[in-house]
Amino acid sequence: MRRREFITLLGGAAAWPLAARAQQATKLPTIGFLGANNPTFERASIDAFVQRLHELGWIENRTVSIEYRWAEGREERFAEIAAEFIRLKVDVIFTYATPSSIAAKKATAIIPIVFAAAGDPVGTGLVASLARPGGNITGLSIQQTDTATKRLELLREVVPGLRRLAILAHVGSPNAVLDMGEVQAAAGALGLEVVALEIRQAAEIAPAVETIKGRVDGFYVAGAPLFTTNRVRIHTLALAPRLPTIHNFRELVEAGGLMSYGPNFPDLFRRAADLVDKILRGAKPGDLPVQQPTKFDLVINLTTAKALGLTIPESFLTRVDEVIE
């Protein structure tokens, strides 16, 4: 081998590790976005999250990378996606909905986790306390169980003859089980009869609704990703026997439900971006208190109300944040 060729080869071999190290040094901080549903359903919230990151100096694909994965309402996917994020060595796992947050926490005790919307983070064991979450996780609570009584009171306002209530709950979702318990307690205090419909998979929704036809005056759907994915089916089934429904989330009202009361999700996602920003800059998630929602929305679908033969009082409509027609 000629001396010049040998020197060139040697120089290239020495330079390669330097180039590799430089490439690693410029690797963008990465957020693993664990979506419980799909990007279409979550578009407004995603946009709010990305926009707030941008305001904080994190520009997607320039100063931060976001790996999006979608479970499409299939809760068995949560653990798979969390495991993939661990293999990708993301810097933060971002979740929403209690089951996906629990799956992420079970998957890793090292990678920081931020949840944008957990129903009852203390009651479901996500955090030790709201003030001191501890471990590698923090986020925002949606106070789902705390607002269960409020939802029931709102349903009574628009359904004056409410005497018997059905509750649809996915027993595979810890938060939905807690929500069901709160509603049962509130219904008992109001003197309402309760029929609990506990299901484990989508195929059980239609048979469950069939059993309450002609037996109840109202239908409480406990929040769960499974019901979000099957929201159109639920409302088609509920409309035939003219069952007025109450929900946690506005998206189910857009799909034909009667009304919902719960926190504003784009606002929660914006505030979750603040927590992600702090963690990417060195804060420990366990030191960041779990925050509470500050903005709640009451949404009603007047087209559905008309189909159900309900007349919504004007005094009620003046308090509604959004009317869907």
pTM of the model: 0.81
Nearest to 118 by CA among 146, 99, 103: 99
Please tell me whether residues 237 and 306 are part of one structural domain: yes
Question: And the tokens for 302?
Answer: 């007047």
Q: List Cβ neighbours of 46 (8 Å cut-off, separation of 6 or more).
A: 33, 39, 269
Residue 165 lies in a domain: yes
Q: Are residues 287 and 307 in the same domain?
A: no
Whether residues 174 and 305 share a domain: the answer is: yes
Q: Are residues 105 and 69 in the same domain?
A: yes
Cα separation, 113 vs 275, in Å, equals 10
> Phi/psi at 238 (nearest 5 deg)?
-80, -30
Distance CA 94, CA 58 (A): 15
List the beta bridge partners of residue 32: 67, 93
- Which pLDDT score is estimated for 120? 83
Q: Is the pLDDT of residue 143 over 80?
A: no
For residue 282, is it within any domain?
yes
Domain range enclosing 317: 148-263+297-324
Could you read off the pLDDT of 224-256 as tens digits, one per residue? 888 888 999 999 999 989 999 999 888 899 999
Domain of 55, CATH number, reads: 3.40.50.2300
Same domain, 129 and 272: yes
Q: Do 199 and 318 share a domain, yes or no?
A: yes
Distance, CA of 132 to CA of 287 (rounded, Å): 6
How many structural domains comprise the chain? 2
Six-digit token pair at 200? 């484990």
Q: Are 243 and 282 in the same domain?
A: no
pLDDT in tens, 153-187: 999 999 988 999 999 999 888 878 888 998 999 99
Query: Is the same domain home to 65 and 121?
Result: yes
pLDDT for the residue 19:
41
In a shared domain, residues 255 and 227 = yes
Residue 1 lies in a domain: no
Residue 195 resides in a domain: yes
Q: Is 72 within 8 Å of 41 (Cβ atoms)? A: no
